[in-house]
């Protein structure tokens, strides 16, 4: 994934978010809620946490009060700029945003009591090195079936045609290989509903589902998708997330 993409998004929208509207329906459970619950269960005011791929730091800052300190890393300078701006506005003092490549950081072995990763890069060997023994890595990641339908209409996209390669099993194997014990791993399927074509178009401009998404060039394809997936609840947009908890 090019870092350039995240720099562009941060420049255009002032962070990692767009003002597009949607509602969400969870037939089972909300993976973000489960991820956050598990993360906060592991939090404490004497722990130092690492946030891998923090983007604009919105989430980092929202949980800062549960930790002694959070080190939040990213490679996108524009995202880090947005994060630092938000930090100043919110006057949060126990977070440090740093430009670091998640695969090769400058931190010592066993520097952290907890590592979390909210759709950041899968840097398992480095996370293992950075964690203290007995401590946890928790992550929420994008599943292989995420937005499969729109990618099929477009004939491209992040993880295109990977639908049958379980991300959960791939991650479980990779984590185990570096020495982690996977203590929780679950797939979550749910759907977002965008009220209008414009909301979906705006959403797609700010996420890497199609890094090359172009509102003008992709208009015809998006119209095909919208016609096919229009429901009385809005334009259906199926999502897939994987939540994993692993112990060193």
Ligand X SMILES: C[S@@+](CC[C@H](N)C(=O)[O-])C[C@H]1O[C@@H](n2cnc3c(N)ncnc32)[C@H](O)[C@@H]1O
**Please, which residue, 59 or 154, has the CB nearer to ligand X?**
59
Is 76 near ligand X (CB under 6 A)? yes
Is 59 near ligand X (CB under 6 A)? yes
- In the chain, DSSP assigns E strands to 23-25, 48-52, 69-74, 95-99, 112-118, 131-142, 181-194, 230-231, 234-247
Do 197 and 218 touch, CB atoms closer than 8 A?
A: no
CA-closest candidate to residue 204, choices 154, 144, 145, 160: 154
**Of residues 173-212, which lie at the interface with ligand X (CB under 6 A)?**
none
The span from the CA of 49 to the CA of 70, in Å, is: 5
Do 99 and 74 touch, CB atoms closer than 8 A?
A: yes
Q: How far apart are CB 142 and ligand X at their closest, in Å?
A: 8
Is 55 near ligand X (CB under 6 A)? yes
- 3-class DSSP state of 141: strand
**Please, which residue, 52 or 226, has the CB nearer to ligand X?**
52
Q: How far apart are CB 231 and ligand X at their closest, in Å?
A: 27
Q: How far apart are CB 58 and ligand X at their closest, in Å?
A: 6
**Please, which residue, 59 or 67, has the CB nearer to ligand X?**
59
Is 53 near ligand X (CB under 6 A)? yes
| Residue span binding ligand X (CB under 6 A) among the ranges 51-59, 84-92, 180-188, 227-235 | 51-59
Look at phi and psi of residue 157 and say left if phi exceeds 0, alpha if psi is from -120 to 50, else beta.
Answer: left
- 3-class DSSP state of 21: coil
| Cα distances (Å, whole numbers) of residue 79 to 86, 117, 197 | 11, 16, 27
Is 213 near ligand X (CB under 6 A)? no
Is 16 near ligand X (CB under 6 A)? yes
Q: How far apart are CB 54 and ligand X at their closest, in Å?
A: 5
List interacting residues with ligand X (CB under 6 A): 1, 3, 6, 16, 53-55, 58-59, 73-76, 79, 101-103, 118-121
């Amino acid at each position: 994934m090019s870092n350039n993409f995240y720099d562009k998004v941060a420049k255009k929208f002032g962070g990692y978010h767009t003002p597009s509207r949607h509602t969400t329906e969870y037939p089972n459970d909300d993976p973000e809620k489960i991820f956050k619950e598990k993360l906060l269960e592991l939090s404490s005011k004497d722990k130092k946490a690492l946030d891998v791929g923090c983007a604009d730091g919105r989430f980092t800052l929202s949980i800062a009060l549960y930790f002694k300190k959070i080190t939040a890393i990213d490679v996108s300078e524009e995202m880090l700029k947005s994060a630092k701006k938000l930090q100043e506005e919110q006057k949060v003092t126990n977070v440090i945003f740093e430009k670091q490549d998640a695969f090769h950081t400058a931190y010592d072995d066993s520097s952290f009591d907890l590592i979390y990763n909210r759709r950041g890069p899968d840097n398992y060997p480095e996370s293992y090195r950075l964690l203290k023994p007995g401590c946890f890595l928790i992550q929420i990641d994008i599943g292989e079936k995420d937005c499969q339908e729109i990618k099929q209409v477009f004939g491209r996209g992040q993880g295109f045609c990977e639908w049958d390669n379980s991300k959960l099993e791939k991650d479980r194997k990779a984590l185990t290989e570096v020495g982690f014990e996977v203590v929780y791993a679950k797939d979550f399927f749910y759907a977002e509903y965008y009220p209008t074509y414009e909301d979906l178009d705006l959403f797609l401009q700010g996420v890497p589902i199609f890094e090359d998404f172009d509102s003008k060039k992709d208009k015809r394809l998006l119209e095909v998708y919208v016609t096919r997936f229009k429901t009385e609840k809005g334009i259906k947009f199926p999502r897939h997330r994987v939540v994993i908890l692993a112990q060193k």
